[in-house]
Amino acid sequence: MKSMFSGMAAVACAMMLFVAAPASADIKVGAILAETGGASFLGGPEARTIRMQVEEINAAGGINGEKIDLVVKDSAANPQKAISFAKQLIEEEKVIAILGPSTSGESMKLKAICEKSQTILMSCGAAEVIVNPVAKWVFKTPQTDSFAAQKIFMTMNDLGITKIAILAGNTGFGKAGRSQLKKYAPQFHITILEDEVYDKKATDLSAVVAKIKANKDVQAVVNWSIVPAQAIVAKNMRQAGWAVPLFQSHGFGNVKYIEAAGEAAEGIIFPSGRLLAADVLATSHPQKAVLGKYIADYMAKYDGEQASTFGGHGFDAIMILAKAIENAGSSDKAKVRDAIENLSNHAGTGGVYNFSATDHNGLGIDAFEMMTVKNGKFVLYTK
Amino acid sequence: MPLELFSQYLFAGITYGIIYAIVAIGFNIIYNTTGIINFAQGEFVMLGGMISISLNSLMPLPLAIVCAVFITMLFGGLLEIVFIRWLESPSVLRMIIITIGLSIVIREVALHIWGDGVRALPYFTGNVVSSVQILGASISPQVLWALAVCSIMVLMLSLFFKFTSLGREMQACASNRLAATLCGINARNMVTFSFMLSAAIGAVAGCVVSPITSTQYDMGTGLAIKGFTVAVLGGLGNSMAAVAAGLLLGIIEAFSVGVGFPLVFQDAIAISILLVILFVRPHGLFGNKEAAGLKEF
């Protein structure tokens, strides 16, 4: 084995003598995404999108003449796996940046590792804690959950809703969302009357729906969870004949969830990036072109599979990195990092990004639109 | 607690309970003939749901369900023939590990075939928002479907085991495999039949509950744990007891929400009950101590 390695190394050295001088090496970029496992609805579209975009960039001749060499690792949403893959990517593959991970929990584990090894991390996790407090090398592309919570409360203020019930799944996403809701409720003069956390694998929530329904003062319900509970809450509420407005988190942004909830999805109100509203955006909107192209490309490449906001997080991660490499004029990771921090007015799928030394997400509350479901389709919410 | 709320919790509990009970019945049938717990039982439920959903786009709902049940049944038999039948006097532990392995493989294969999306069959009557008023509670008609299907299934199973020769041969294998073999019963075939039967029952369950719970590739694990708890609670091998235990657990879970027990610990109730039963009454609430003593596991 050893002799084989040294033999290979010798051949490689010899080859490098011939080719090393003119062509610059490829840019190594790693990605750690939950392609399988419980968060595969996030990691799957993200990985497919990133592969698609890298192919496109390389087919167009790369960035500044350098091609991207992408290494994707499947963490299955397991933080321990994510950590070992990150170490492997950093130490062995010597990547300049890691795209992902898909979940907030994994991202928090990698925050310190990337900071220490000075590797760029472009997280696809939603939680605000990933970039607050700011870590020098850590960025994230999805809209922040605190803005989602505030956007929901702003809509409630418009509707004159002041007393609500919160339901949340016991995932990292659900817990983070619930704490944001509780944090911002007083600012918007909203009282939380009922507050329940359920298991992420719950298959029927009619008992808890009965419980909160018994509280006659509840004017609206906010559910903060991932599939399939999002659909189950909606079904159980409608079956119980309870017609108060149901708000969901920005995790509801996938057409599949409407299918899962069927008619019960009608009228659900939730904040979302503009990906779902791409076809109703004004042509002058800065995101219009990028969204239209991404949605069409993804559908063409993956046999009619509809693009989701989650795939969009992957799109933004790779495209921000590519733009920063282009702006830096180099693939030196320190220069690229500075270029990300200086990136402004970058239209992505999640919004228009304006990064700064203190803002490593680059999105404001205006990245969200309130959406609702009408006749089985997502439409912009109007009062 | 007002009557309306009481009956709402009660029916929520019955909904949970039926689902657990049907899974537990599947456990019991295989346990009866082989003495093992088939941890891939939850996967049969998932397969039944998934296959019927796929077929439903090609054919009417009742036909899709029948075909899905039939396919899952054949699949159950095939699993037994390929992975278990040829083992020479396998230990109980070895067979259990095989079924756990199979459940993982089936789950991953399902992920590749159907993806990670949540799917559901259409409601058998009405739609997702329709409900029936009973004792002041609003319940989905699908719950009544599940209740009816479960009752018919339990009834037919007990008739099958009492009055058909195949059923009685399976019973004989359950009581004493050696003696049954000496009487000319092919015990290996009985094991295959039991896998087919429990796969079919799992698939029926998967179809009936799909509109209520939705079907996802990894739904089997959670169901298997609850079903196992219920099977042990009722007394392993006793299908009627499984129904009673299932309803009991479901109703306890539903009312625990009502009295303010944190919802997120709902699963802890099932596991605590399982532990208590294993310590105090390992033969189950309705089981017979002497009969349980004769079993290897």
- The reply to whether A136 and A173 lie within a common domain is no
Nearest to A58 by CA among A289, A336, A318: A318
- The reply to whether A154 and A202 lie within a common domain is yes
- pLDDT(A1) > 50: no
CB B166 within 8 A of CB A302: no
Task: Assess A306–B contact: CB distance below 8 Å, yes or no.
Answer: no
What span, in angstroms and rounded, lies between the C-alpha atoms of B268 and A35? 30
Over residues A161-172, the mean pLDDT reads 90
Question: What does pLDDT average to over chain B?
Answer: 87
Out of B108, B128, B258, closest to residue A262 by CB: B128
Nearest to A124 by CA among A167, A56, A183, A72: A72
Report which secondary-structure segment, H or E, holds B262: none
- Token couple for A127: 């939680």
Which pLDDT does position B164 carry in this prediction? 92
Which pLDDT does position A347 carry in this prediction? 94
What span, in angstroms and rounded, lies between the C-alpha atoms of A319 and B127? 43
Contact B117 A256 (CB under 8 A): yes
What span, in angstroms and rounded, lies between the C-alpha atoms of B295 and B291? 7
> pLDDT class for A22, splitting at 50, 70, 90?
very low
- The reply to whether A158 and A264 lie within a common domain is yes
Domain that residue A178 falls in: 146-272
Q: What is the pLDDT of residues B77-127, one digit of tens each?
A: 999 999 888 887 778 788 888 999 999 999 999 988 987 777 888 888 888
Q: What is the pLDDT of residues A292-309, one digit of tens each?
A: 999 999 999 998 888 888
Q: Which residue has the higher pLDDT, B93 or A226?
A: B93
Instruction: Give the CATH number for residue A170.
Output: 3.40.50.2300
Contact A262 B140 (CB under 8 A): no
- The reply to whether A300 and A345 lie within a common domain is yes
Contact A199 B128 (CB under 8 A): no
* A256 contact residues in B (CB cutoff 8 A): 117-118
- The reply to whether A117 and A31 lie within a common domain is yes
- Say which amino acid occupies A176: A
* A232 contact residues in B (CB cutoff 8 A): 213-214
The label of the residue with tokens 């809209």 reads: A143
Out of A210, A228, A257, closest to residue B12 by CB: A210
- The reply to whether A152 and A266 lie within a common domain is yes
- The reply to whether A139 and A155 lie within a common domain is no
* A211 contact residues in B (CB cutoff 8 A): 257-258
- The reply to whether A261 and A193 lie within a common domain is yes
By C-alpha distance, the chain B residue nearest A167 is B263
> pLDDT class for A18, splitting at 50, 70, 90?
very low
Domain termination residue (choose one: A272, A305, A338): A272
Domain total in chain A = 2
In a domain, A92, yes or no: yes
Determine how β-strand B132-134 pairs with β-strand B137-139. Answer: antiparallel
- The reply to whether A79 and A197 lie within a common domain is no
- The reply to whether A56 and A111 lie within a common domain is yes
Into which CATH architecture does domain B3-294 fall?
Answer: Orthogonal Bundle (1.10)
- The reply to whether A194 and A95 lie within a common domain is no
Over residues A325-336, the mean pLDDT reads 92
Q: What is the pLDDT of residues B239-292, one digit of tens each?
A: 888 889 999 999 998 888 878 777 778 778 888 888 888 888 888 887 766 666
CB A30 within 8 A of CB A95: yes
What span, in angstroms and rounded, lies between the C-alpha atoms of A320 and A343? 8
Domain termination residue (choose one: A245, A272, A299): A272
